[in-house]
Structure 1
Amino acid sequence: MSKSAGDVLRRWLEPVFLSLWYQDQNKWLGWLLKPLSHLFDFIVCRKRHQYLLGKKTSFAAGVPTIVVGNLTAGGAGKTPLTLWLIDWAKDNGFNPGVVSRGYGSSSDQLRLVDEQSTAADVGDEPLMMFLRGQTKVAVGRDRVAVAKLLVAQGCDLLICDDGLQHYRLARDIEIAVIDGQRRFGNQKMLPAGPLREPVSRLDSVDFVVCNGSAGRSGEFEMQLQPGKLQPLHSDETALAPQLGKVLAVAGIGNPQRFHNTLTQLGFSPELKALPDHHHYQLEDLSPNDALPLLMTEKDAVKCRHLERPNSWYLPVTAKLSNEFSSHLKTKLAEVTHG
């Protein structure tokens, strides 16, 4: 199936599944998918126990490895947290590297992200993390090979983005991110629900970070702080919009979160919600409309080649407590010094 055909299919299916998972609609579909969810649950639990019991072995990279992931399909805030961890690691004297699958890229091949990389080459999130985090990022289907490449490049701490369910790469610290608005939806396993692993999996991770709310007991709150609007193109002549009606596009895990953020900033956005990792075409950006167009930073790395004037992206920065930073530092010292 071509990427364009796949995008069309995802745009049609995604709202159907999201309404089933998070809005208690399309229950008939849930009943039809229930047997598949039971099968998926069995496969997932069997895979994890094979590693826990030593029937399968994980590869240890030889440097501290922090895994960031979530239990649900779609976005929860992993990328902003990974960017926060990059800065945190640098502040603590490490030379971090990011291990990524490179989802949405045109190839499964092992490669380092560099200044010539495009989102089509390496995926939108790895490219954004490289440009924003100013650190080594490598992508590939084989995460063990990716980890080896980064260590060979001199990285002394690895951050594995979206690696919670990839047990072949050993980890020293696990951080699970929860979407504070959606949480776990109907709490069913894929495909009848959004869960990639049972909610009980949280009992075994080192830290639970809740994105966008105070969370619950034992969870650390993460807030995403918006920055200043940035022009999509460096030769933009228009002034950045301040308030009022704007167009907006979001090809992320939870587009409504972007809509809410713009509303809180005083905009009246007309949002076009697109599937996560969407491959943008010029027509997606309403090129004939004179209104300013706002997008996320993740979308911007895929749209810079598209000539749409008066386009802007909104960077966000994760904010976590000093308490979380202190606990993470203590945990890292435990795993590195025994």
Structure 2
Amino acid sequence: MPRTPAWWFDGSPPPAWARLLAPLYAAMVALRRLGYRRGWLRRRHPGVPVVVVGNLVAGGSGKTPLVLALVEHLRAAGWTPGVASRGHGRHAPGTPRWVEAGMPAALCGDEPLLIAQATGVPVRVDRDRLAAARALAAAGCDIVICDDGLQHYRLARDVEIEVQDARRRYGNGRLLPAGPLREPLERAADCDLRVLNLGVSAGEEADATGSNEWPMWLLPGELRPLAGGRCLPLAALAGQRVHAVAGIAEPERFFAMLRAAGVAVVPHAFPDHHAYAPEDFTFGSPLPVLMTEKDAVKCTAFARPDWYAVPVRAQLPPGFWQALLARLPARAG
């Protein structure tokens, strides 16, 4: 995936070609939304509750950590969740597939593989999110979490959750390609819950707002060695220099998290969903390598003993989970 255009977030004016194309994109979005509102295009429901996690802004905002937290909390509440995803960056994107722990990320996408390995729940990748949800329901899931499906209107949903990056917000507020918006700003008001990703600012107090916006913090866990062995606390590398690798939409968020833990970061940013090869790690100095879990699932096959994944856990206020469960229908049985 190409890097995010600078003008989306840095205040500089979009180039002329982007400003010319944005009205065409806006017209296409408006026509599609009108089609679903008027019933010209039909929404269909898979027969079990559907929770959609997505964003209005193109690129990452913290959806995957939230999906992992949703799986954990819904399972604790007695549900049997499954996850539907498109599987961005995979080979043969038109082929539906069940995701199995340990399979190559190229077959299913890095984020679905991470979710499958971290949770053990059924994960289905399919361009057609409705078909994926139906497959999950047929496999015994009584609730479906749709990862990054806010704009996939064909799949009827019970709860919509918008995730937003606290620092970048909506950028310049323009639609693609002049800005980062997939849909107009007013679309956010349709979402049942809005989550504001504050990153590692875990010490700050924040509450739900009148706009139904809930804070989310990302807390780092123990370092997991990719080549096997015992986990280490992140604090064990405090004061040490490390190579930090991030192939995500906003690599600086990962680097800042490590710096906040006292780690001296030598940053290496790669494009989102980058397909890693061993030569990508020819850094010239023999330091430990720390990377996101999303990157780690693509590097296990050639990992060295001093390479570590840094897991993060999403933390949200108890009121968020109460609000979510209140919006779901009664669980069958």
Report the TM-score, using the length of structure 1 for normalisation.
0.90
Select the residue among 158, 162, 165 that pairs with 2:148.
162
Larger displacement relative to structure 2 (50-59 or 216-225): 216-225
CA distance in 1, matches of 2:284, 2:231: 17
1:269 shift after superposition: 0.7
CA distance in 2, matches of 1:158, 1:178: 21
Quote the residue 1:98 is aligned against.
83
Deviations 1:203-230 (A, max 9, x none): 1110000001748642100000110111
Larger displacement relative to structure 2 (206-215 or 264-273): 206-215
CA distance in 1, matches of 2:184, 2:168: 16
What aligned pairs does 1:191-270 form with structure 2 within 5 A after superposition?
191-212=177-198, 214=206, 217-218=210-211, 219-234=213-228, 241-270=237-266
| Cα-Cα RMSD | 2.0
CA distance in 2, matches of 1:319, 1:181: 18
Quote the residue 2:42 is aligned against.
57
Are the counterparts in 1 of residues 225 and 231 from structure 2 also a CA contact under 8 Å? no
Quote the residue 1:291 is aligned against.
287
CA distance in 2, matches of 1:313, 1:286: 18
Q: Which has the higher helix share?
A: 1
Quote the residue 1:3 is aligned against.
none
Are the counterparts in 1 of residues 122 and 136 from structure 2 also a CA contact under 8 Å? yes
Q: Residue type matched to 2:113 in 1?
A: L
| Distance change (3 Å), C-alpha of 1:237 and 1:24 | closer
Deviations 1:93-132 (A, max 9, x none): 1110100001111122111111342211100000000011
1:332 shift after superposition: 0.8
2:159 matches 1:173: yes
Number of residue pairs aligned between Structure 1 and Structure 2: 321
The unaligned stretches of length 5 or more in structure 1 are 1-6
CA distance in 2, matches of 1:117, 1:138: 13
Select the residue among 309, 325, 331 that pairs with 1:329.
325
Larger displacement relative to structure 2 (259-268 or 214-223): 214-223
Aligned to 2:245, the other structure's residue is in SS state strand
2:1 matches 1:43: no
Larger displacement relative to structure 2 (41-50 or 159-168): 41-50
Deviations 1:139-186 (A, max 9, x none): 011222211111110000000000000001111110000001110111
Q: Residue type matched to 2:70 in 1?
A: L
What aligned pairs does 1:86-165 form with structure 2 within 5 A after superposition?
86-108=71-93, 109-165=95-151
Q: Residue type matched to 2:177 in 1?
A: P
Report the identity percentage.
44
